[in-house]
């Protein structure tokens, strides 16, 4: 026979299991309804965020954080996040970026179904990106986070070579040619960096037309340099 404390614990566990199941069903329903928005969230968090389930002392913490440096990019993430998960994250304005945070076990478990969000381990969630529009959403959000836009290049720098190879293949679907270069850093203990460049004029113009940026500054720079490329 169970003691009163054991009985109460069993009731609490059953109650939480029901809540988790209901939340999971809601998230899955919203993800099916808005697959492009879910793709956007995954890319933003793989680019400039982290997703963690960690134990501290006796408690398990489930946290999602995102660090956009652009207001339009922030709003893009918040819109998608609230549509899929139906909660509004906490937002704190720092000097040069925003700190966005949400604590939720159902959300973290849902995100981790799509793989790791660690800089060395993330992968493009190709099994989830079924349509062209979903792949565009993922690419646009990831480039919002990671891309440098120069006069003659759009560049992503990462320690994750395999992830960049996947992106390179995705760009080819839009007839955008890119190339990966290896960059060895000074200290042997530092991870090797890899640079994914889009350099040809026609490829940068095609990126602008097919993918583009939500990030205001990067979009304006690409529009400016693409315009120069056309007249040159």
What contacts 173, CB < 8 A, 6 or more positions away?
A: 132, 135
3-state helix, strand, coil in the chain (%, to 5): 50, 20, 30
Give the domain extent around 191: 4-231
Question: In whole angstroms, what is the distance from residue 213 CA to residue 43 CA?
Answer: 13
Buried b (16+ CB within 10 A) or exposed e, 65-84: bbbbebeebbebbbebbebb
pLDDT(3) > 90: no
pLDDT(175) > 90: yes
Rounded to an integer, the average pLDDT of 185-210 is 88
Give the number of domains in the chain.
1
Sorting pLDDT into bands at 50, 70 and 90, what band is 14? Answer: low
What contacts 12, CB < 8 A, 6 or more positions away?
A: none
DSSP state of 69: S
68-87 pLDDT, tens digit per residue, is 999 999 999 999 999 999 99
Sorting pLDDT into bands at 50, 70 and 90, what band is 226? Answer: confident
Write down the pTM of the prediction: 0.88
Question: In whole angstroms, what is the distance from residue 175 CA to residue 198 CA?
Answer: 12
Lookup: tokens for 221: 């720079």
CATH code of the domain in which 76 resides: 3.10.28.10
Beta bridge pairs of residue 55: 60
């Amino acid at each position: 026979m169970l003691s009163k404390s054991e009985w109460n614990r069993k009731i609490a566990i059953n109650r939480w299991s029901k809540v988790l199941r209901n939340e999971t069903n809601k998230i899955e329903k919203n993800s099916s309804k808005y697959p492009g928005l879910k793709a956007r969230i995954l890319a933003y968090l793989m680019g400039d965020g982290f997703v963690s389930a960690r134990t501290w002392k006796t408690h398990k913490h489930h946290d999602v954080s995102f660090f956009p440096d652009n207001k339009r990019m922030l709003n893009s993430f918040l819109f998608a996040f609230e549509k899929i998960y139906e909660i509004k994250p906490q937002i704190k304005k720092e000097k040069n970026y925003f700190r966005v945070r949400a604590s939720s076990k159902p959300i973290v478990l849902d995100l981790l179904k799509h793989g790791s969000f660690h800089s060395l381990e993330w992968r493009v969630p190709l099994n989830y990106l079924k349509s062209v529009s979903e792949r565009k959403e993922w690419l646009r959000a990831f480039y919002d986070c990671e891309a440098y836009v120069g006069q003659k290049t759009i560049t992503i720098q990462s320690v994750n070579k395999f992830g960049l190879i996947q992106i390179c293949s995705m760009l080819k679907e839009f007839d955008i040619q890119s190339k990966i270069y290896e960059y060895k850093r000074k200290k042997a203990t530092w991870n090797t960096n890899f640079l994914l460049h889009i350099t040809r004029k026609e490829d940068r113009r095609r990126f602008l037309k097919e993918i583009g940026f939500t990030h205001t500054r990067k979009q304006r720079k690409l529009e400016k340099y693409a315009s120069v490329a056309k007249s040159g």
